[in-house]
């Protein structure tokens, strides 16, 4: 079962395609694993064994008759519970929506079903993708598989936890200020926030319309590219959807980084906000390795991290409050304390501040994108710290904002978090690779080259949570 738990999407796809692995056997093994271990991690809000086995049996019949749909045919996946699956509740991990049945599939759900994926269930989140790891909600918060006493990141917390724990090879998350890349960083997996609009948000509970992104969490870079291939594409029913060519995200894997120009945004984690020493060491070791692999590396300067963060915060809280105003007036007591406090902040943002933030955002994005005239990708921190304890609200509040992810929601740029090692206490470390709009294939190329030159992808949490793998 452990071997099946840590199959990559690419490995599973080949075994399934060649009929060396049954989709039903695969799904049953992961369902058994979830039943045995998820009580420790709370990654799932709702496991759907009947739907999973129905999907698996259908995939098995189709593959047996030679009707193979591609690399997600027969492969299990999960959805963050702000993403609609027809006939199931979309709760947003909140009492307010605990009885909210989805009438139709989200666009991303439609694509994964069409690809032949095996749906395993709905995954934990921070309440309405903003609340944090709360203990005053109908369901407990997800925990970190590397150490269950620690935070697993958010707001796509269950997506990160389930993928790292070997419950799923792939999951869907969302990212408004870092909510795919944070759990990827905390859980030692790969999380991509694609260019704004590359993946449709139709059928996804919004947090901030102009900042929301949907994207994949996986254990390897190749798997991430495969999943983005499955879920990307223009959707005329999503007003923010990008009407441009998408796909081919695996095309540049294996080409290496020789000659590529890499800009390091060190001031984010060394001057604007000093990162934990182990996190800094992990990032700097990764930058050195990229140099050793043949990349042309130089330091670059952008706007200050605090300026990006203020712009993101002003827009996010304003748009979030606009979405939640009616519930906040009528049912504020039904929110968890963290979500209520964070959403209420938007009530006090002046219209002039919001308008000015949107104008500044355009200038910041244009200035940042212009840097790519002289470089191919940028590298910087994702989180500034390894995961803190989940039962320490002060530590969570302190570390939650210590990140360099929000700038790329402001710019709409594609950005990926990849593992760069472990702290001395066995908690994952990560870096972020960023590109110009629609350069996901190039980002995957750099991330894959780094991944293949290290052993981090081969390391998984032990069931007894005793981790002995350090930087």
Q: Quick one: how far is CA 355 from the chain centroid?
A: 29
Question: Beta-strand (E) ranges in 319-464?
Answer: 377-381, 415-422, 428-434
Q: Quick one: how far is CA 231 from the chain centroid?
A: 14
pLDDT in tens, 141-185: 999 999 999 999 999 999 999 999 999 999 999 999 999 999 999
Write down the pLDDT at residue 253. 98
Burial 111-134 (b: 16+ CB within 10 A, else e): bbbebbbbbbbbbbbbbbbbbbbb
Q: Model-level pTM greater than 0.75?
A: yes
Write down the pLDDT at residue 2. 53
Compute how many other C-beta atoms are within 10 angstroms of the C-beta atom of residue 329. Answer: 9
Whether the predicted pLDDT of 467 surpasses 70: no
Catalytic residue among 155, 159, 161, 423: 155
Per cent of the chain over pLDDT 70 is 98
Candidate from 59-63, 411-415, 463-467 with smallest mean pLDDT: 463-467
Kindly give, in sequence order, each residue whose CB lies less than 8 Å from that of residue 423, ignoring residues fewer than 6 positions away: 278, 279, 386, 429, 470, 471
Residues facing residue 217 across a β-bridge: 171, 191
Whether the predicted pLDDT of 1 surpasses 60: no
- Is 382 catalytic? The answer is no
Q: What is the mean pLDDT of residues 389-411?
A: 95
| Domain-wise residue ranges, the chain | 2-236+246-458
**Sorting pLDDT into bands at 50, 70 and 90, what band is 469?**
very low
Whether the predicted pLDDT of 59 surpasses 80: yes
**Sorting pLDDT into bands at 50, 70 and 90, what band is 121?**
very high
Considering the four listed CATH numbers 3.40.50.10490, 3.40.50.2300, 3.20.20.70, 3.90.1300.10, the one that applies to the domain covering 2-236+246-458 is 3.90.1300.10
**CB 470 within 8 Å of CB 428:** no
- Is 458 catalytic? The answer is no
pLDDT in tens, 189-245: 999 999 999 999 999 999 999 999 999 999 999 999 999 999 999 999 999 999 987
**CB 336 within 8 Å of CB 137:** yes
Q: Which of 79, 1, 5, 72 is nearest to 46 (CA)?
A: 79
Q: Tokens 């799904």 sit at which residue? A: 27
pLDDT in tens, 267-288: 999 999 999 999 999 999 999 9
Q: What is the largest CA-CA distance in the chain?
A: 61
Q: Which of 24, 32, 85 is nearest to 59 (CA)?
A: 24
**CB 155 within 8 Å of CB 130:** yes
Write down the pLDDT at residue 120. 99
Catalytic residue among 161, 179, 413, 423: 179
Write down the pLDDT at residue 71. 98
- Is 159 catalytic? The answer is no
Q: How far apart are CA 363 and CA 154, in angstroms?
A: 28
Tell me which of 24 and 464 has the higher pLDDT: 24
Write down the pLDDT at residue 3. 86
pLDDT in tens, 313-354: 999 999 999 999 999 999 999 999 999 999 999 999 999 999
Burial 20-58 (b: 16+ CB within 10 A, else e): ebbbbebbbbbbebbeebbeebbbbbbbbeebbbebbeb
**CB 76 within 8 Å of CB 26:** yes
Write down the pLDDT at residue 470. 31
Q: Give the chain's radius of gyration (CA, Å).
A: 20
Q: How far apart are CA 83 and CA 275, in angstroms?
A: 33
Per cent of the chain over pLDDT 90 is 96
Q: How far is CA 239 from CA 202, 212, 230, in A?
A: 9, 12, 20
Q: What is the mean pLDDT of residues 256-276?
A: 98
Whether the predicted pLDDT of 465 surpasses 60: no
Question: Beta-strand (E) ranges in 271-414?
Answer: 296-299, 377-381
State the chain's mean pLDDT as an integer: 96
Write down the pLDDT at residue 466. 38
Quick one: CA torsion of 88, 91, 97, 98, rounded to 10 degrees?
70
**Sorting pLDDT into bands at 50, 70 and 90, what band is 246?**
confident
Crossing angle for the helix pair 9-17 and 49-64, to the nearest 10 degrees: 50
Q: How far apart are CA 228 and CA 217, in angstroms?
A: 10
């Amino acid at each position: 079962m452990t071997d099946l738990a840590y199959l990559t999407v690419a490995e599973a796809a080949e075994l399934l395609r060649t009929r060396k692995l049954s989709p039903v056997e695969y799904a049953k093994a992961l369902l058994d694993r979830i039943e045995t271990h998820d009580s420790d991690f709370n990654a799932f809000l709702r496991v759907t064994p009947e739907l999973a086995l129905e999907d698996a049996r259908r995939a098995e019949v189709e593959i047996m008759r030679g009707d193979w749909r591609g690399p997600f045919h027969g492969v299990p996946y999960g959805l963050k519970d702000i993403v609609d699956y027809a006939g199931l509740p979309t709760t947003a991990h909140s009492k307010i929506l605990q009885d909210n049945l989805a009438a139709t599939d989200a666009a991303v759900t439609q694509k994964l079903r069409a690809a032949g994926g095996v749906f395993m269930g709905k995954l934990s989140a921070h309440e309405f993708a903003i609340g944090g790891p709360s203990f005053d909600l109908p369901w407990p918060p997800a925990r970190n598989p590397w150490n269950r006493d620690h935070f697993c990141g958010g707001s796509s917390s269950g997506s990160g936890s389930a993928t790292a724990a070997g419950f799923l090879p792939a999951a869907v998350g969302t990212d408004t200020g870092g909510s795919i890349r944070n759990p990827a960083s905390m859980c030692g997996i790969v999380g991509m926030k694609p260019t704004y609009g590359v993946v449709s948000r139709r059928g996804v509970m919004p947090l901030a319309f102009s900042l929301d992104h949907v994207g994949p969490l996986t254990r390897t870079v190749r798997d991430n590219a495969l999943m983005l291939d499955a879920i990307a594409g223009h959707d005329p029913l999503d007003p923010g959807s990008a009407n441009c060519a998408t796909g081919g995200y695996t095309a540049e894997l294996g080409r290496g980084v020789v000659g590529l120009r890499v800009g390091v945004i060190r001031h984010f984690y060394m001057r604007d906000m000093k990162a934990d020493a182990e996190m800094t060491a992990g990032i700097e070791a990764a930058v050195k390795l990229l140099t050793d692999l043949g990349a042309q590396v130089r330091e670059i300067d952008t706007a200050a991290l605090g300026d990006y963060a203020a712009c993101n915060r002003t827009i996010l809280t304003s748009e979030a409050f606009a979405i939640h105003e009616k519930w906040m007036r009528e049912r504020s007591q039904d929110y968890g304390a963290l979500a209520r406090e964070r959403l209420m902040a938007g009530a006090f943002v002046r219209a002039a501040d919001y308008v000015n933030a949107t104008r500044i955002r355009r200038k910041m994005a244009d200035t940042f994108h212009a840097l790519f005239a002289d470089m191919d990708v940028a590298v910087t921190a994702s989180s500034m710290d390894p995961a803190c304890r989940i039962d320490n609200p002060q530590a969570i509040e302190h570390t939650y904002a210590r990140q360099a992810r929000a700038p790329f929601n402001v710019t709409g740029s594609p950005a990926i978090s990849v593992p760069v090692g472990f702290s001395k206490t066995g908690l994952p470390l990560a870096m972020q690779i960023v590109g110009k709009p629609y350069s996901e294939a190039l980002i995957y190329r750099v991330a894959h080259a780094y991944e293949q030159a290290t052993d981090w992808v081969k390391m998984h949490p032990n069931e007894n949570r005793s981790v002995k793998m350090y930087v």
